[in-house]
Structure 1
Amino acid sequence: MKIYTKTGDDGTTGLQGDVRVLKSDPRIFAYGAVDEANASLGLALSHNPNEATKRILTSLQNELFVVGADLSNPNTDDSKNRVTSQMVANLEQIIDTLETQLEPLKNFILPGGDIVASQLHLTRAIIRRAESYAVIVNQSESLNENCLKYLNRISDLLFVLARTVNKSKGNPDTLWKS
């Protein structure tokens, strides 16, 4: 099988169920941003984070493929939707565990610090864009509600994980000064 199919040469792309849409469709932007976030996590992994962070990031990469698959499925009542409430709960559990290692925030912080933490902050911003596109799609077509919840929670997790990485490397949070 060749990597190129030429079916998208007219500016369309395929969704699940043999549905074709314009490449400018918000659904395509949503799962395209999820794909971008996944690549960004790959970049974070290339900087050799500690084993605990590596396990979390690898798990997130696999789950983002599931999110992308659900976003490419225009049939929300279809059994092909795979993002579950348990996946959302798992993110919450990781957040809760990591937050016990951190000082509570009293100010906004600037993204940055260690290279891995900085990459996680960038990934968080990409995820927020994916979530915005997913919300746009959900206004006109119903999405798997767990996708929206997952995207919201993963951005929270990436923020907390970036703070955790910085703390482990001795980089204090940089407070925003108005």
Structure 2
Amino acid sequence: MFKKLLLGAALAFAAQTAQASLVGDSFSFNLQEDGAPTALINAMPTVGSGPEIFSVDINSGLFLADISDDLLTLVMAEFVPIGATTWSFTGLDYSDGSVISGFTLLNGSSPVGTGFGSDFLTVNIGDISAPGIWVFNIATEPGTPPSVIPLPAGGALLIAGLGSLILLRRRARG
């Protein structure tokens, strides 16, 4: 009986595998027109459903950025032509400690340049003279898991629970 209980607990614990997720993560975002003294957009949004960045500026137009666990979508529409823009996303922390390992264009005209690191993405879109939509794939790989904060009471409760089961088993034997 005890072995079955222990096996069941181990299987239940093993089944709780975490999936890499950005949902709920706050990150820094900056949209800079190259050579401009100030950013068009500078924000600290939180990843959720729908676009994280949505801005309409009378001088620059509509900018939209949507980031999910494995996709980044950028939209520029209804705007006055501007110079090259650099979109920067920093502080992207996956819930299971995964890190960004790749960043590739799936749809849209080729950007001037892209870059990525374990927790950031950058896209430099050349001079924009027409609206555009860019979709990128974000690849991840397991990283160093977040450090576990020890809970002192947890160990004592585990020992007390196992001790209780052992005492019950001894009493049942007689």
* TM-score under structure 1 length normalisation: 0.21
What is the TM-score of this pair, normalised by structure 2? 0.21
Higher helix fraction (1 or 2):
1
More strand by share: 2
| Relative contact order, higher structure (CA 8 A, sep 6+) | 1
